[in-house]
Amino acid sequence: MNLHLTINGQAKDIPIEPGEILLDVLRRAGYQGVKRGCESGTCGSCVVLVDGAPYYSCLLFAAQQGGRSIMTIEGLGTPDNPHPIMTAFIEEGAIQCGYCVPGMILSTKALLDENRDPSPEQAKEALDGHLCRCTGYVKQIKAVLRAAELLRARVGG
């Protein structure tokens, strides 16, 4: 069967097998920023935005995503043209090995799309579904708050 959906703003038509999970389909289609971790909805490394909300792509059947709009980290920015959230994670030193970071950045985007001035507690809650083996989360929470500052400045407050 074929899956018709939008990925990072582009209409796609991707052959899939029954029972395939969205994580596998996205990685096979070249979106390697979607990371494979626990495959059981625990680590958050596979998070993508589905119609703007963060989901564990390891828990979603690809066949049920027809017509939806998916965003992966590749759709947010590039090394040459980073999104302010990416800039904030770099500025705050919130990236070590980086494996957890694409999912965290996408969950941050979902938060900041709804709330441009989150409290530290709200930033912490936004990253609640993400595990990081390298850091103590402090810098990543600071990065969420810094990203909010950058975005507020970008739109003039």
Residues that bind ligand FES (CB under 6 A): 36-39, 41-46, 56, 58, 95-100, 132-135
Longest dimension (CA), the chain: 47
Q: Least distance from C-beta 90 to ligand FES, angstroms? A: 12
Between 38 and 153, name the residue whose CB sits nearer to ligand FES: 38
Element (H, E) at 71: strand 69-71
SS3 content of the chain, % helix, strand, coil (to 5): 40, 15, 45
Q: Amino acid letter at 27? A: R
Q: Is 86 within 8 Å of 95 (Cβ atoms)?
A: no
Residues in the chain: 157
User: CB-wise, 31 or 56, nearer to ligand FES?
Assistant: 56
Identify how many contiguous H helices and E strands the chain contains and give both numbers. 5, 5
